[in-house]
């Protein structure tokens, strides 16, 4: 029997993002700006296929061909005529694909695509069923022969040359003497061409580093980035101000040349562009899915301001400097000056990437965050649909908690997202020694509150949080931000800002903490016992917090195995609301201080020991988490699929195209996303994948049962 964690039900929930009202309030010029930014984001989002697995681009091309020839209803009708039942239509994919109109019209092309990806998409061979480096999973950020040691060596090389890993991939080969050699390939439109005024041209060469050859090249994803840049150029004509024009010019330079420095310059303009009606960001942003934690997945979003919710976040920003003083670390560990950021609630029009978050704090560049600031974004229409839960599907809670949870989950999540993004990701200082040897802290007076001694470690020039803490950086930082949210939601001023007081405020605090400990248990779905590894940064972070609160003792949190009404294993999470302040807060205070001190000082060894210790999943009593993991998998609810709208030009007017909240609606949204160049994009994606196919082998696979 196949492992249930790799199986999704046919009746998976589907929700539709509603941004009709927000879009309707835009002027014609703002709509044109949003339209071209959305087109840039969607074209760039296809890069993610090439950053995931060798077969991902072929799967996309296969499905695109299938649904260009027949929409879901036509395909279903065809399948039923072929003798498939309603259930078989959803399950017997090979028969459906090879019997489709697309296969009848282009048998060699469709058959070839199926041959490349058919077995791989169903493979349950350990190395192919989840993301990972080397023998621990699959990734196309690295060639298959790259090891963790290779990734560390490459990071050291990049640091030595002051090159960012964000827009790179790493491919390993062997030179004529049998020594390992590496290609560091930058994402850019330009390939071999050089431009004398570019900061990238001198870096495109061969290097000798620690006995290995490194060749820096560029041109990764070139045809897709050409499409991105075409629409960024068009968007410039409708920019609201000079900051937006300069921002887009620098993004264009970045994607053309492969320059992260240019993207940083664009991000500086973006930070300065306060309160735009149409908000956006685009580039190689989040490093969650790089097994080493340094390379950014392409992401682009376009959204419209929700003014009423934004007003609450603005009040939170106004109180930020005072609230930062409440955090449990000495002032020397906080930024020298709080750079007041933008914090807006947005209704998403477009979010291209591997998933849609509830909130964002960007840019992720450490030097910009320390010196220039950042922006916070809460995605209101995502919160409204993606995190809604039906009572009958609420797992692991006591019956008396369920109604309270449903009533206050939304408001509590708004509070948590606000604190997580603004005062979680937005807090804390990194101790740095620059290239001239100067420190940004006083070595003589700053004392480590954990040891009582002077600071003994810090970040050297070229080192960043991601490069130094690598594989744990993303999850560690998410844990720190989530902990800040829990800690500060107890503050009366925070609750007042969100319009909460009295018993209702206490209910929101309770549900926020209850949601976190429940999420910690749910996170076990994303733990892989075979490799003792976590596959999702946020869920690992929430499990760590659950462990910290369990460790606090005194009955604050308990996780109890039970038997469900259906006779199958179940569990209950219990939180004593009367002990949140007396037991939970001090425990979180100690943990948060340790997290920040180790981050500030760049103490990788101690940070890794702390975080991996709490991340360990064992069968130790009393919780027996490995056994509980099986219960979590048995009771898991699949995450909703999100249907997003499209925009299209009709003459000089931009129209919003919306779709049903159904699987068919989701398919139609993708089919109509690239109406003019769908076939070309299929060829581009498969061509790019084939060009690099030699970096990954196709071993015999163990497939899930299928027809």
DSSP sequence for 472-510: GHHHHHHHHHHHHHHHHTTSHHHHHHTT--HHHHHHHHH
Find the mean pLDDT for residues 662-675.
Answer: 94
Q: Residue 653, class by beta-carbon neighbours within 10 Å (0-12 exposed, 13-18 middle, 19+ buried)? A: exposed
In this prediction, residue 706 has a pLDDT band, given cuts at 50, 70 and 90, of very low
Q: What is the pLDDT of residue 397?
A: 96
Per-residue pLDDT, 312: 85
Q: What per-residue confidence (pLDDT) applies to 342?
A: 82
The confidence band for 1, taking pLDDT boundaries of 50, 70 and 90, is low
CA 544 to chain centre: 19
- Is residue 66 domain-resident? no
**pLDDT for 697:** 75
* Residues annotated within a binding site: 420, 425, 478
pLDDT of residue 11: 80
* pLDDT confidence of residue 2: 62
Residue 6 lies in a domain: no
pLDDT greater than 90 at residue 390: no
Average pLDDT over residues 558-571: 94
Asked whether the predicted pLDDT for residue 702 surpasses 50, the reply is: no
Sign of CA dihedral 53, 58, 63, 68: positive
Give residue 280's pLDDT: 96
Q: Which of 30, 421, 482, 682 is catalytic?
A: 421
How would DSSP label each residue in 225-291? HHHHHHHHHHHHTT-SSHHHHHHHHHHHHHHHHT-HHHHHHHHHHHHHS-S-SEEEEEEEEE-TTST
pLDDT at 241 over 60: yes
With 90 as the cut, is the pLDDT of residue 166 above it?
yes
Which residue bears the tokens 């560029």? 218
421 assigned to active site? yes
Angle at 598 between CA 597 and CA 604, to 5 degrees: 165
Instruction: Answer yes or no: is pLDDT of 699 > 70.
Output: no
Band of pLDDT at residue 308, cut at 50, 70 and 90: confident
- pLDDT at site 703: 34
pLDDT of residue 366: 87
The residue that leads in pLDDT, 25 or 448, is: 448
Confidence of residue 462 (pLDDT cuts 50, 70, 90): confident
Structure confidence at residue 383 (pLDDT): 83
Q: If DSSP codes are grouped into helix, strand and coil, which group holds residue 304? A: strand
Least confidently predicted of 88-102, 255-269, 394-408, 499-513: 88-102
Q: Which residues are annotated as a binding site for Zn(2+)?
A: 420, 425, 478
pLDDT for 574 equals 97
pLDDT computed for residue 700 by the predictor: 31
Residue 21's DSSP bridge partners are: none
When the pLDDT of each residue in the chain is averaged and rounded to a whole number, the result is 92
Mean pLDDT of 152-157: 96
Look at residue 209 and give its three-state secondary structure.
strand
pLDDT category at 68 given cuts 50, 70, 90 is: very high
Q: Tell me, what's the pLDDT at 386?
A: 72
Greatest CA span in the chain, whole angstroms? 81
Give the confidence band of 698 by pLDDT, cuts at 50, 70, 90. Answer: very low
- The mean pLDDT of 112-120, rounded to a whole number, is 94
pTM recorded for the entire structure: 0.84
Task: Tell whether the model's pLDDT for residue 662 goes beyond 90.
Answer: yes
Q: What pLDDT score was predicted for residue 664?
A: 94
pLDDT at res. 705: 35
Q: What is the dihedral of CA 550, 528, 603, 376, to 10 degrees?
A: -80
How high is the pLDDT of residue 307? 76
Do the bridges between strand 297-305 and strand 342-352 make them parallel or antiparallel, or are there none, so unpaired? antiparallel
Any domain includes 28: no
Is residue 92 situated within a structural domain? Answer: no
In total, how many domains does the chain have?
1
Across the range 651-664, mean pLDDT stands at 95
Domain assignment of residue 560, yes or no: yes
Domain that holds residue 337: 306-635
Q: What is the pLDDT of residue 345?
A: 86
Asked if the structure places residue 297 within a domain, the reply is no
Q: Is residue 366 part of a domain?
A: yes
In the predicted structure, residue 673 carries a pLDDT above the cut 70: yes
At a CB cut-off of 8 Å and minimum separation 6, what does 289 contact? 51, 52, 131, 139, 141, 297, 354
Given a cut of 80, whether residue 5 has pLDDT beyond it is: no
60 within some domain:
no
How far apart CA 56 and CA 44 sit, in angstroms, is 15
Percentage of the chain exceeding pLDDT 70: 98
């Amino acid at each position: 029997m196949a492992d249930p964690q790799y199986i999704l039900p046919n009746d998976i929930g589907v929700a539709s993002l509603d941004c009709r009202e927000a879009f309707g309030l835009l002027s014609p010029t703002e709509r044109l700006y949003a339209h071209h930014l959305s087109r840039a984001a969607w074209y760039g989002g296809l890069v993610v296929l090439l950053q995931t697995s060798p077969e991902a681009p072929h799967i996309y091309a296969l499905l695109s061909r299938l649904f260009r020839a027949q929409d879901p209803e036509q395909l279903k009708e065809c399948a039923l005529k072929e003798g498939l039942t309603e259930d078989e239509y959803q399950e017997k994919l090979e028969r459906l694909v090879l019997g489709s109109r697309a296969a009848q019209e282009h048998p060699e092309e469709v058959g070839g695509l199926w041959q490349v990806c058919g077995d791989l998409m169903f493979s349950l061979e350990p190395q192919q069923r989840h993301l990972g480096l080397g023998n621990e999973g699959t990734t196309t950020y690295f060639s298959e022969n790259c090891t963790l040691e290779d990734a560390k060596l490459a990071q050291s090389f990049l640091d030595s040359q002051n090159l960012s890993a964000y827009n790179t991939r790493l491919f390993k080969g062997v030179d004529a003497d049998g020594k390992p050699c590496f290609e560091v390939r930058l994402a850019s439109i330009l390939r071999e061409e050089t431009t004398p005024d570019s900061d990238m041209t001198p870096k495109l060469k061969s290097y000798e580093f620690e006995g290995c050859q490194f060749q820096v090249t560029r041109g990764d994803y070139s045809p897709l980035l050409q499409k991105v840049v075409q629409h960024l150029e068009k968007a410039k004509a409708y920019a609201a101000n000079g900051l937006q024009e300069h921002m887009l010019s620098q993004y264009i330079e970045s994607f053309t040349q492969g320059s992260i420095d240019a993207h940083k310059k664009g991000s500086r303009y973006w930070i300065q562009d306060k309160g735009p009606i149409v908000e956006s960001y685009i580039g190689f942003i989040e490093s969650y899915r790089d097994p080493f934690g340094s390379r950014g997945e392409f992401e682009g979003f376009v959204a419209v301001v929700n003014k009423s919710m934004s007003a609450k976040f603005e009040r939170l920003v106004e109180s930020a400097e005072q609230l930062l003083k409440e955090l449990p670390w000495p002032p020397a560990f906080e930024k020298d000056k709080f750079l007041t950021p933008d914090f807006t609630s947005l209704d998403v029009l477009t979010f291209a990437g591997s998933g849609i978050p509830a909130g964002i704090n960007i840019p992720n560049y450490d030097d910009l965050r320390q010196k220039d600031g950042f922006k916070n974004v809460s995605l209101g229409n995502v919160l409204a649909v993606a995190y809604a839960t039906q009572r009958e599907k609420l797992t692991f809670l006591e019956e008396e908690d369920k109604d309270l949870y449903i009533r206050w989950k939304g408001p509590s999540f708004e509070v948590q997202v606000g604190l997580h993004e603004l005062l979680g990701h937005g807090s804390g200082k990194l101790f740095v020694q620059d290239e001239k040897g100067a420190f940004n802290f006083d070595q003589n007076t700053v004392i480590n509150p954990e040891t009582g001694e002077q600071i003994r470690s810090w970040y050297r020039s070229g080192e960043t949080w991601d490069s130094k803490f690598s594989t744990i950086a993303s999850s560690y930082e998410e844990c720190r931000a989530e902990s800040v949210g829990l800690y500060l939601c107890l503050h009366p001023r925070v609750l007042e800002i969100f319009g909460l007081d009295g018993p209702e405020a206490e209910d929101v605090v309770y549900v926020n903490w209850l949601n976190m400990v429940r999420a910690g248990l749910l996170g076990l779905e994303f733990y892989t016992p075979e490799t003792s590894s976590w596959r999702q940064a946020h869920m690992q972070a929430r499990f760590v917090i659950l462990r910290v609160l369990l460790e606090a003792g005194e009955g604050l949190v308990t996780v109890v195995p039970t038997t469900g009404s259906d006779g199958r294993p179940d569990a209950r999470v219990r939180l004593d609301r009367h002990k949140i302040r007396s037991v939970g807060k001090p425990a979180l205070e100690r943990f948060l201080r340790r997290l920040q001190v180790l981050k500030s000082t760049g103490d990788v060894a101690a940070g890794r020991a702390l975080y991996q210790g709490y991340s360990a999943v064992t069968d130790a009593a009393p919780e027996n988490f490995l056994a509980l993991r099986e219960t979590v998998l048995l009771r898991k609810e699949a995450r909703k699929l999100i249907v997003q709208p499209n925009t299209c030009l009709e003459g000089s007017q931009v129209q919003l195209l919306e779709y049903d909240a159904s699987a068919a609606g989701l398919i139609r949204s993708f089919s109509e996303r690239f109406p003019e160049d769908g076939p070309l994009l299929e060829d581009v994606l498969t061509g790019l994948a084939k060009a690099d196919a030699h970096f990954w082998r196709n071993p015999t696979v163990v497939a899930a049962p299928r027809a």
